[in-house]
């Protein structure tokens, strides 16, 4: 079963007037992971798509998505898949890839239908592509790991880069995830924006009762979302994205836009936020 929800782009002037329900309706993705289903959000931010696939007892096939108006979903797109569950298998382009928890699979443009099977919980990201690059499985061991932050500022964390120029080549999709050390809660501070790229976050590895306070909005007009486990945030290029959590959590970041320069960002110091 496939369901697709479209999210239209929001101007920052519009976002300033939104109440909590409207902010959550436009920027928060909930209920993405349902057994026996593929659920996607098709956004008008750089045509970025995100979603979840949970095979359960029977494989799931992602092929035709009416919103793209192409015979097969990946005809003019690339895809990044993260397994946030137990071991599962993804089959595409005549190859089968066994994915452990935390592994990432890149599928290039023109790969064809994608089949999900096994005990995995697969987080799907996809962007338009202009060229076809080789598909590749990047395990947790293959990722480039970057240590950042400090315990004194409550943001000691490990950034793991998967679909990233330091690891492999892609068209415009960049993807990795960040895990907080014990006792650290802030995932990014100082906050930043990058006007040339949008970004999406999936929070996972959280206790059911835990929440992340995700900060968003213009630096001078900040807003917030309380986010639960396996919920996603769509972050426009004009919005900051920072947050603090209750207990252990990891967040998957994925970006699309004009370039693949991970360091292309504009920082906003805490004293400048309002």
Ligand-binding site membership of 241 (annotated): yes
pLDDT surpassing 90 at residue 148: no
More confident residue, 263 or 5: 5
As a whole number, mean pLDDT of residues 241-261 equals 89
Q: What is the pLDDT of residue 69?
A: 96
Strand ranges of the sheet holding 49-54, from the earlier edge strand across to the other edge: 2-7, 37-43, 49-54, 122-128, 77-83, 104-107, 136-138
Q: Is the pLDDT of residue 130 over 80?
A: yes
Residue numbers of the domain that contains 37:
2-272
Q: In the 8-state DSSP scheme, what is residue 35?
A: B
Q: What is the reported pLDDT for 191? A: 80
Q: Is 199 annotated as a binding residue?
A: yes
78 pLDDT band, cuts 50/70/90, is very high
**Confidence band (pLDDT; 50, 70, 90) for 3?**
very high
Please determine, for residue 156, whether its predicted confidence score (pLDDT) is greater than 90: no
Q: What is the pLDDT of residue 171?
A: 96
* Torsion sign over Cα 255, 259, 260, 262: negative
What does the pLDDT average to over 150-179? 92
Q: Is 192 annotated as a binding residue?
A: yes
- Is the pLDDT at 183 greater than 90? The verdict is no
* 257 vs 36, more confident: 36
- Closest Cα partner for 234 from 14, 44, 11, 36? 44
pLDDT interval class at 186 (50, 70, 90) = confident
Is 152 buried (19+), middle (13-18) or exposed (0-12) by CB count in 10 A? Answer: exposed
In the chain, % of residues over pLDDT 90: 82
User: Is pLDDT at 247 greater than 80 in this prediction?
Assistant: yes
CATH of the domain at 154: 2.60.120.10
Summary mean pLDDT of the chain: 94
**Domains identified in the chain, total number:** 1
What local confidence, expressed as pLDDT, does residue 174 receive? 96
End-to-end Cα spacing for the chain: 43
Residue 61 in this model has a pLDDT that exceeds 80:
yes
| Structure confidence at residue 196 (pLDDT) | 85
Model pLDDT, residue 197? 85
Q: How far is it, in rounded angstroms, from Cα 49 to Cα 31? A: 15
What is residue 216's predicted lDDT score, i.e. its pLDDT? Answer: 96
Predicted confidence at residue 201, as pLDDT, reads 97
Choice between 100 and 257, residue whose per-residue pLDDT is larger: 100
Give the tens place of pLDDT for each residue, 215-244.
Answer: 999 999 999 999 999 999 999 999 999 999
Q: Angle at Cα 112 formed by Cα 65 and Cα 94, nearest 5°?
A: 145
């Amino acid at each position: 079963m496939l369901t697709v929800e479209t999210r239209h782009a929001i101007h920052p002037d519009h976002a300033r007037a939104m109440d909590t329900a409207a902010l959550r309706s436009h920027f928060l993705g909930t209920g993405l992971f349902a057994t026996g289903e593929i659920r996607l959000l098709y956004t008008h931010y750089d045509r970025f798509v995100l979603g979840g696939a949970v095979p359960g007892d029977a494989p799931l096939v992602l092929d035709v998505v009416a919103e793209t108006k192409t015979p097969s979903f990946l005809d003019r797109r690339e895809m990044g898949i993260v397994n946030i569950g137990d071991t599962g298998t993804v089959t595409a382009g005549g190859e089968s890839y066994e994915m452990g928890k935390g592994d990432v699979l890149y599928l290039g443009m023109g790969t064809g239908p994608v089949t999900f099977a096994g005990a995995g919980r697969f987080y799907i990201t996809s962007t338009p592509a202009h060229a076809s690059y080789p598909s590749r499985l990047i395990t947790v061991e293959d990722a480039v790991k970057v240590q950042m932050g400090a315990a004194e500022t409550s943001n000691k964390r490990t950034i793991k880069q998967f679909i990233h120029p330091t690891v492999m080549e892609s068209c415009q999709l960049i993807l990795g995830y960040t895990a907080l050390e014990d006792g650290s809660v802030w995932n990014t501070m100082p906050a930043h924006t990058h006007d040339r790229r949008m970004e999406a976050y999936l929070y996972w590895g959280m206790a059911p009762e835990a929440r992340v306070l995700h900060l968003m909005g213009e630096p001078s007009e900040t807003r917030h979302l309380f986010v639960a486990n396996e919920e996603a945030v769509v972050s426009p290029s004009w919005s900051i994205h920072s947050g603090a959590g209750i207990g252990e959590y990891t967040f998957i970041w994925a970006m699309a836009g004009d370039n693949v320069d991970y360091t292309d960002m504009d920082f906003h110091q805490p004293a400048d936020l309002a």
